[in-house]
Chains A and B, each alone.
Chain A
Amino acid sequence: MNIRWIALALTAVLVTLSLTAPAFGQTRQSPADRGFLAGKKYDLNGPAPRLANGHPDLGGVWDRPGVQDITKSFTAKDGMKQVGQAELQFTEAGLKAYKSYDPKNDYAGACLPYGWPRAIQGLHPLQIVQSDDFAAFLFEQNSWFTAVPIDGRPHPKDAKGLPTWFGNTVGRWEGDTLVLDTIATNGYTMLDYTHPHSTELHLIQRFTRTDFGHMNYEMIAEDPKYYKTPIKNTRTFVLRPNWETMEYSCEETNLDQIRNGTIKWTPPNIE
C-alpha cells in the first residue's frame, strides 16, 4: 500500500515536470558580454555602494516581485517578497470607481504611460541611475522613464496645475533611505490592475538598499478621496547583474490593434 502511494506520487512528479519543462531555455547564464555588470566583480551580499557624497547608490538593474493586486502577499524567487494590505477601506467615491473599472479600457493595454504604481510593480527590469541631485528610474516596460530630483527640494508651486501620468515627484534622504513624494497625478492610472486612485493621490515610496544585491521598498498611498486610510505595501527587490534594460516598444505590435479599434482607450470621467 505504501509503495503504491510512493510510486503514484513519483509518477505525478515526473508527469508534472515533463508538462511544465520547456523544450528549450532552461534558466541559463547570460553571454559573458551581457548584463549591466558584465566583466565586473561584485558580491551580492556585500555592502551597498555609496556615492562620493556619502549617500547609498541605488544604481543597478532591479528585479521586483510582480504585483497585480496590492492586497495580496507572496514570496518569490531569490528573496523577493511582497507584503500587501489585505483590507482596504473605500470611500463611497472609491468603491464606485473600483466597481466601474473595465479591463478592456485599460490604459496600459493601450500603450499609455504606466504611472508609478504599475511601473514599480511590474516584471520587467527597473534600472536606477543616480547622481548627487537626480535619480533616473528607467522602466524597461514600455520604455518609460522618470528623472527625480533627490536633493530635498519641495514640489514646484504649480505642480497641481500640471497633472501628469507619473505625477510630480521629488526626493529626499532620511538617513540611508531615499524617500520619493509624488503628487499631481492625472487620475488615469491605477494602484494595480484592479484598484483605482484619484487625482488626490499622495504617493510615498521609500527605497533602502540593504546590501549590494537587495533593496527594501515601501509604498504608502494616501488618497482620502477614494480610501479612508492609507494603503501600504512593502517589497524586496533583488539586483540582477546579468540583466540589461532592453528596448521595449509597446506600439511595435499594438499599433495595428490601436488603429483597427481592437484596442481602444476612452479617458475615464475624472470628477
Chain B
Amino acid sequence: MIRTGLTILFICTGLLLASPAFFAHHSASAEFDETKPLEFTGTVRLVEWVNPHGYVQVDVKDETGKIVTYRIEIMAPNGLYRAGWTKDSVKPGETVSFKGRRAKNPQSMNVSGRLTLNGKPLFTSTEGDRRGGQATENP
C-alpha cells in the first residue's frame, strides 16, 4: 500500500516535471530577461494568432491608474490548434493572470511566462505540440 502510494507520488512528480512550463523555448533567452520578473492580472484586448509565436495582448492598470498593454508570447499556434486550442479560446474582455519575465529591451512590452484563466493554464502545448494529436477513427 505504501509502495503504491509512493509510486503514484513519483508518477505525479514526473507528470509535473514533463509539463511544458519547464522547457524554455530555444529563442526565449535572446529576447527575455530572467532578472526582470513580472506578475499581473488584466483584461484581454486581442489574440494574435501567428507563428512562430502568437501573442495575447492584455490591458493592465499600472500603479498610476494608466492602462498599459502587455504582449504575452504564446506557443506556436499551429501546434496549439492541434492540441485543441483556437484563437477564440480566450476572448477580448476576459480577465487573465500572468507570471513571467519582461523583455531585455526596455521599450518592448513583450513578456514571456505562464498565462492562466481562472487558475488554469492557457495556451500550453499539453498533448498537442509535443506528442501529436489523436489519430481519428474512420469517419
In A99-158, the 8 Å CB interface with B consists of: 103-104, 106, 108-109, 123-124, 140, 142
A27/B12 contact (C-beta < 8 A), A109-B30, A246-B78, A260-B105 known: no
Task: Give Cα A200 to B51, complex, Å.
Answer: 33
Residues of B within 8 A of A140 (CB): 78
Known: A12-B12, A25-B80, A262-B105. A123 touches B130 (CB 8 A): yes
CA distance A103 to B104 in the complex (A): 16
Contact A252 B85 (CB under 8 A): no
User: Could you tell me if A109 and B83 are in contact, using CB atoms closer than 8 angstroms?
Assistant: no
Q: When the two chains form their complex, are residues B52 and A9 in contact, meaning their CB atoms are under 8 A apart?
A: no
Q: Within B89-135, which residues are at the interface with A (CB < 8 Å)?
A: 89, 103-105, 116-118, 120-124, 126-135
Q: How many A-B residue pairs have CB under 8 A?
A: 173
Complex CA distance for A231 and B134, rounded to whole angstroms: 32
Q: Are B127's CB and A77's CB within 8 A? A: yes
Stretch from A39-47, A162-170, A220-228 at the B interface:
A39-47
Contact A5 B2, beta carbon cutoff 8 Å: yes
Residue of B nearest to A245 (CB): B78
Q: Chain A, 232-271, contact with B by CB distance < 8 Å: what is the 0/1 string?
A: 0000001111110011111011100100101100000000
Interface string of A7-19 (1 = CB under 8 A from B): 0111011011111
Residue of A nearest to B104 (CB): A262
Interchain CA distance A39-B116 in the complex, whole Å: 36
| Alpha-carbon gap, A187 to B103, bound state (A) | 31
Q: Please state if B53 and A253 are interface contacts (CB–CB under 8 Å).
A: yes
Q: How far is the CA of A43 from the CA of B132 in the complex (A)?
A: 18
Contact flag A23-B89 (CB < 8 Å), given A12-B12, A106-B27: yes
- By the criterion CB–CB under 8 Å, are A30 and B80 in contact? no
**Chain A residues, CB < 8 A from B104:** 262
B129:A123 contact, CB within 8 angstroms = yes
Residue picked from A27, A30, A77, A108, most chain B C-beta under 10 Å: A27
Chain B min CB distance to A198 (Å)? 22
- Min CB–CB distance A21 → chain B (angstroms): 7
What 1/0 flags go to B18-41 for Cβ under 8 Å of A? 010000001101110000000000
Q: Are B83 and A25 in contact (CB under 8 A)?
A: yes
Q: Which of B4, B12, B124 contacts A22 (CB 8 A)?
A: B124
Decide if B132 touches A63 in the complex (CB within 8 Å).
Answer: yes
Residue ID in chain A nearest B1 by CB atoms: A2
Task: Decide if A77 touches B131 in the complex (CB within 8 Å).
Answer: yes
B139 interfacial by beta-carbon distance below 8 Å:
yes
Q: Report yes or no: A238 in contact with B132, Cβ–Cβ below 8 A.
A: yes
**Chain B interface residues toward A at CB < 8 A:** 1-2, 4-6, 8-9, 11-12, 15-16, 19, 26-27, 29-31, 48, 50-55, 76, 78-86, 89, 103-105, 116-118, 120-124, 126-136, 138-139
**Chain A residues packing against B (C-beta within 8 Å):** 1-2, 5-6, 8-10, 12-13, 15-30, 32, 35, 38-44, 63, 66, 76-78, 80, 103-104, 106, 108-109, 123-124, 140, 142, 193, 213, 238-243, 246-250, 252-254, 257, 260, 262-263
9 contacts between A and B (CB under 8 A): A8-B5, A20-B19, A22-B85, A23-B117, A39-B139, A123-B79, A253-B50, A253-B55, A260-B105
Known: A13-B11, A80-B131, A254-B27. 4 other contacts (CB 8 A): A9-B4, A27-B83, A252-B50, A263-B30
